[in-house]
Amino acid sequence: MLEWCGKAKVEWHYTAPGKPTQNAFVESFNGRMRDELLNETLFTSMAHVREKIAAWVDDYNTRRPHSSLGYTTPAAFAADLKKQGAASLRIA
């Protein structure tokens, strides 16, 4: 990762130890995934892992409204942004 950052000229920053709030969105997502999927499922194979994670991600992104997105799903929010972007290109 560090090699790629150097080549892409991307500045790399570490989250300080004991400071998960520096990356609150990821910490929130990780907590939800851990509580709702990983702690609740006994996986039997890598195929089973992939199947369960894909289903959970689909639910998280397409069926579950998020308060931070005005109680819309991430998929609906992204579609609205895409429409707004297309509309702004037509106006200009």
CA angle 72, 38, 43 (to 5 degrees): 125
Q: What are the tens digits of pLDDT across the range 72-91?
A: 999 999 999 998 886 665 65
Tokens 């429409």 map to which residue?
83
Residue type (1 letter), 69: L
pLDDT at residue 51 tops 90: yes
Nearest to 29 by CA among 2, 10, 50, 56: 56
Q: What are the tens digits of pLDDT across the range 20-37?
A: 777 888 888 899 999 999
Cα–Cα distance between 39 and 54 in angstroms, integer?
A: 16
pLDDT at residue 13 tops 60: yes
